[in-house]
Structures are given as C-alpha cells and as structure tokens.
Structure 1
Amino acid sequence: MLAFEKALEMGCTGIETDIQRTKDGVLVLIHDEYVNRTTDGVGLVCDYTYKELKKLDAGKFKDKRYKNIKIPTLKEFLSYVKDKNIKINLEIKNSIIPYKGIEKEILFEILNTKVEDNIIVSSFNHNSMIELKTMYPKIKIAALCEYIVSDLEKYKIDKFEYIHPNYIFADKKEILKCHNKKMGVNLYTINDEKNMEKFIKYKIEGIITNCPDKLKEVIDKKKF
C-alpha cells in the first residue's frame, strides 16, 4: 500500500497491479506466483492461507526502513482508490496458475466497491478476459501480449477495449491499426525518456512505467 500511496504523491494518473489468490480464497496483490523474490517467505502464493501470508514481510527486501510492510488484499486496495479519480489496471495473474473462478470473485469486489468506471482488467489469459466480459459486458478489458498485429490476428482480440503490448515490439503503424479498430493502446514497461516521448507522440492511451516521476517530467516539459 505504501507504494500505491507514493505513486499518487508522484503524480500518477493510474495504478497497475497484479492479482493472485491465496489457498483459502483471498485475493491479494503481488506480482509473482512465488513469494520468494519480494518477501521473506518461500513458495507459491496459492499454497499460503491469508493468515500465513500476513506473517511475511514484504518490505525489508527493498530496504530495512520498510520492515513489516504486508501484502495487501484487493479489497483493501479498492477501498483506498475508490475516491481517488484515477485509472486502475488490474492484471489477473492466471496464465501460469489458472485460479479457477477468479474472474467472478474479482468482478464482485469491483462492483461492490463501485469503481467499475475507472477499471481496466487485463491478462495474458485472453479467454479469461472474454469470460469476464461475458459476465459483465460493461467492464473494460485488455489483452496483454508481446506483439500487436500478429497477436490481434492469432488470438482474435480485436473486440477488446485495450491492448497492452510490450513497447519493444510496437511501432507507429501497428498502433494506428489498433486505433482504427477502436482499441486503446497502453504499452509496458517504458522507463526511459526517449521512448516515453516517442510513444506519446504516437497518441497511445497510456504508459505503464516503473518511473512515474520521470514520465510526469516528460509530459510537463513537452506539454503534450
């Protein structure tokens, strides 16, 4: 939660985060399927109960100043952002571990918090996104992928509201193709100023970055 608070202090207009599920069905925000890299624990998130997960330290790996930071729940996060007027990109991490039924559970939390208008739900599991859209047609979905054109054709995802490709494989022509299909383009993960400026000029809808302060400087400086 400290990271989300800091992001808003830095001027972010949106937050991207990742959803896994505990052994006892609690939706939590952590990028990796394993807890090893970002906590003092070992093993898969899905093998921990929420009570067990809360015992892990998710801050001191970064710096001893952040000792005792805990992995947040989706419910906790949505409660925090519901009055913030920012875009929220929830990535379901269900392409490696399928987390059966997680779409319905996430949708419940979104609708219960009444933040659906500000939400984009994304995943590399495109069938999962289609299932979510079937449940609630008003929800905005995004297809995470590496390439734009080949993936549009291969996975038939041109009916999604957004596509989230790796910026390394994106170019102006392919972005235009998405725009012609009325699809928004949010690129990941751009951390250098040169590429930030380049893709902003291509009229993409959003940049996912680890350096929001740098992106804000680019936007303010260039006055796009």
Structure 2
Amino acid sequence: MKRPLIIGHRGASAYAPENTMASFKKALALGADGLEIDVQMSKDGHLVICHDERVDRTTDGTGAIQALTLKELQKLDAGSWFSKEFKGEKIPVLEDLLDCLRGRNILLNIELKNGIVLYEGLEEKILEALGIYRMEHCTVLSSFNHYSLLKIKGLNPRIKVGILYVAGMVRPWEYARSIGADGLHPIYYSVRPEIVAGAQTHQMPIYTYTVNEISDLEKIAGMEVAGIITDYPDRGRNAVDKI
C-alpha cells in the first residue's frame, strides 16, 4: 500500500501563523512532504501568500489585499495575532517561498484565491513564476474557481491542476477529466471508500483537506489517497507511519 503524502495546510498552521515563512519552515521541520498555500494579488500586481481576501484576521492591519500595494502589505505584522513569539512576521510573496524550496523534493500545492475576487492575470503570473524557478514539475494548482483551472490548462497543458470542492459529487473523476483536471481536492468528510476506489480506477489522485483529528488522519491514511492536507504535519506523519 502506497502511503499518502503529508501536506502542510498553509504550512504548519497549528504551530505558527498561517501562510508565513515561519509556518512553512515549521512544516518542513515536522516532516511534511509538501506545502499547501493560498495566493492572491496586491494592488500593484504582486503574488502574495494569504488566505483571506482581507488582511484583518491575520495581520494588525485592515483592508482588502487588492486595494493595498506590496509595500503597504509588507509593513503589516502577520505574526503577533498568533503569538508574540512571531511578532514581526511578514506576509510573503510567492517568490519568497519558491526561493526557499528551490532544489528540495517538496510538492507545492498553490490554491488560487480567485473565487471572490477575480484577479486579472493571476494565472499567467503564477505560471511565469513557476517557470522562472523551474518548479512546474513539482507543483499542483487548485481552485474552487474551475474556470480558472480551465484557463491554466489552456496556457500550459503540462501543469497539474486539481478541483477543490465541498459537496459530495457523483463520479467526480468524470467531471474532473472533462475539464482537463489531474486530481481531486475534496473536503475530507466527503472522501468515501467508493470514491477512492473509483478515483484510483480512473487514475485520478485525491488530495483531501483539512484533516486534523488523529482519528480522522488514521482513517484517511488507510484509504489510499494520494495526499492529506493538515494543519498538523507531525500528526499526519505519525498516522501514515502506522500503515
């Protein structure tokens, strides 16, 4: 039985402020096989790593990312909300992480946060950055906006994309294949044995999110999914080590 990859959700976001370099480095230190991140675009067109469309929850600032320049965004403290230990942590740009991962055998899952704000040119900019750093081969792009995934495949058919979804889908591998997707990224409670079996039969890997409880991690780890996205890479590592 092939063991699933353990992918740090926004890094090791149970232990460090999400989507920061501190969180990414912590995930790697805890043995993560990959990282899942969220990318949006600043007012002046930079690729910034942040989950929310606004900075209010995860920084000491306020406002929409699309309304702030990179210089304004990087003045914000993105760590103190989590713990004083991380005071001064910054919102990173995608290139910061790509530079950190250069030469490592790490899977990078980039979620394009363009379901609410339709950032024009987001797909092109991400593909350009991956090309510069020569990381297309170890990256999967995902989104809840499946039109964006269609666009990506049109721009670069070789890049892997995965459909994010929450609701239970009937034969999701058929839908995914119909739009040229390479994988399924469902919420964990919609992952059933029959879904895993069907996906395997149709060579459609499953990367499921966000699995945090030990019992859930152990259950999912035994279902032969391709990857488990978790806030606790150490728990995930322990779960797969029991297989």
**Which has the larger helix fraction?**
1
Aligned runs of 1:159-170 on 2, under 5 Å? 159-170=180-191
From 46, 57, 61, give the equivalent of 2:77: 57
Note the residue ranges of structure 1 that are not aligned, 5 or more in a row: none
Higher relative contact order (CA 8 A, sep 6+): 2
- Post-superposition offset of 1:76: 1.0
- Whether 1:156 aligns to 2:175 is yes
Change (3 A) 1:127 1:151: farther
CA contact under 8 A between 1:149 and 1:174: conserved in structure 2? no
Equivalenced residue count is 221
Between the aligned partners of 2:121 and 2:197, the Cα distance in structure 1 is 35
Q: Distance in 2 between matches of 1:45 and 1:180?
A: 41
Matched residue, 1:216: 237
TM-score (structure 1 length as normaliser):
0.95
Counterpart-to-counterpart distance in 2, 1:166 and 1:181: 20
TM-score (norm 2): 0.88
> Aligned Cα RMSD in Å?
1.4
**Contact kept? 2:112, 2:142, Cα under 8 Å:** yes
CA positional deviation for 1:29: 0.3
Helix, strand or coil at the partner of 1:114? coil
- Out of 180, 189, 194, the residue aligned to residue 201 of structure 2 is 180
Distance 1:129 1:91 in 2: 10
Contact 1:28–1:72 (Cα < 8 Å) also in 2:
yes
Partner deviation per Cα, 1:109-141 (whole Å, 9 max, x = no partner): 001100111100000001101110111111000
Aligned to 1:68: 88
- Following superposition of structure 1 onto structure 2, how do residues 107-122 of structure 1 map, counting pairs within 5 Å? 107-122=127-142
Conserved 8 A contact 1:145-1:151? no
Q: Does 1:84 align with 2:84?
A: no
Moved more, 19-28 or 143-152: 143-152
Q: Percent identity?
A: 37
Deviation at 1:21, TM superposition (A): 0.3
Please state if 1:198 is matched with 2:219: yes
Runs of 4+ in 1 over 6 A off after TM superposition: none
- 2:176 and 2:183 in contact (8 A); partners too: no
Gaps of at least 5 residues in structure 2 are 1-20
- Structure 1 151/24 Cα, relative in aligned 2: closer, same or farther at 3 Å? farther
* Counterpart check, 1:40 vs 2:60: yes
- CA distance in 1 between partners of 2:58 and 2:228 (Å): 24
1: distance between equivalents of 2:238 and 2:103? 25
